Amino acid sequence: MTDNEKQPRFDQRLREHFLRRRVLVLDGVLDDDNGAVLAAQILSLASEDPKRDIALWIHSPGGSVPAMLAIRDVMRLAPCDVATLALGLACSAGQFLLSAGTPGKRYALAHARVLMHQGSAGIGGSAVEVEVQADDLRHTRDTVLGIIAADTGQPIERIFADSLHDRWFTAEQAREYGFIDHIVDTFEQVAPPRAHPLGLGARA
């Protein structure tokens, strides 16, 4: 079977199944398209029921910085809590969203791995263009690292130093660092709630 013939591993039907249970899944690279969908879904679910938690499950190598910032913004705007869970891999943007969950409701499976780094971007063009791009990159870097410091409780100086090179964390190390609050050890900690009979995406 060729790659083109393979069925999606996480298809739309399965996504809708979890959406009815207020569970969103970031599986794979975060890009501007799926980032906009996740942000819109958080806003929609929060509007539908501002008191019930939303869960964001993460298995991602990272991706778009604007998308991850937009998702965090709506997570903070939402009146309901947003619990996060690292399924297997939470790298870069995945790590950022994992630690952005509601304090006390950030989880990782026992063998999940977390990666923090500053990321990189190509810079080119004229001297003026390079200077403008460099200023924008510094602003974005400082914004992202400042948020990680706030979400983890670590000093900004430590976040900056630790992010200069790829730094991997086990689930236990991620908890000690402040990316998560709990390592999952019971099914009840992460079990999706039953679908609301009139919930978003429920069949009439």
Question: Are residues 29 and 90 in contact, defined by beta-carbon separation less than 8 angstroms?
Answer: no
> Annotated catalytic, 117?
yes
Sequence-ordered list of residues with C-beta below 8 angstroms from that of 149, at least 6 positions apart, any chain: 155, 156, 158, 159
Above 80 in pLDDT, residue 129? no
Tell me what pLDDT residue 5 has. Answer: 47
What pLDDT, on the 0 to 100 scale, is given for residue 192? 82
Q: Residues 38-54: what's their mean pLDDT?
A: 96
- Grade residue 120 by pLDDT with cuts at 50, 70 and 90: low
193 neighbors 19 (Cβ within 8 angstroms): no
Which position has the token pair 């919930």?
199
Q: Which of 17, 117, 182, 196 is flagged as catalytic? A: 117
Which domains are assigned to the chain?
12-119+163-186 (3.90.226.10)
Band of residue 97 on the pLDDT scale cut at 50, 70, 90? very high
Strand partners, 114: 90, 169
| Across 29-44, average pLDDT | 96
Cβ neighbours of residue 59 under 8 Å, at least 6 residues apart? 25, 26, 27, 28, 86, 87, 88, 89, 90, 94
Per-residue pLDDT tens for 66-88?
Answer: 999 999 999 999 999 999 999 99
Q: Is pLDDT at 196 greater than 80 in this prediction?
A: no
Residue 17 has what pLDDT?
86
- What's the Rg (C-alpha) of the chain? 18
User: Which H or E run includes 54?
Assistant: strand 54-60
| From 60, 64, 92, 99, the catalytic residue | 92
pTM of the model: 0.85
Choose among 53, 25, 28, 20: nearest CA to 37.
Answer: 25
Judged by average pLDDT, the poorest of 12-16, 138-142, 192-196 is 192-196
144-148, 150-154, 190-194, 198-202: least confidently modelled range: 198-202
- Told to judge if 99 belongs to the known catalytic residues of this protein, a careful annotator would answer no
Query: In this structure, which amino acid lies at residue 169?
Result: F
Residue 18 phi/psi, 5-degree rounding, is -75, -35
Instruction: Report the candidate in 31, 143, 152 with the shortest Cα–Cα distance to residue 101.
Output: 152
For residue range 140-185, what is the model confidence (pLDDT) as tens digits? 899 999 999 999 999 999 999 999 999 999 999 999 999 999 999 9
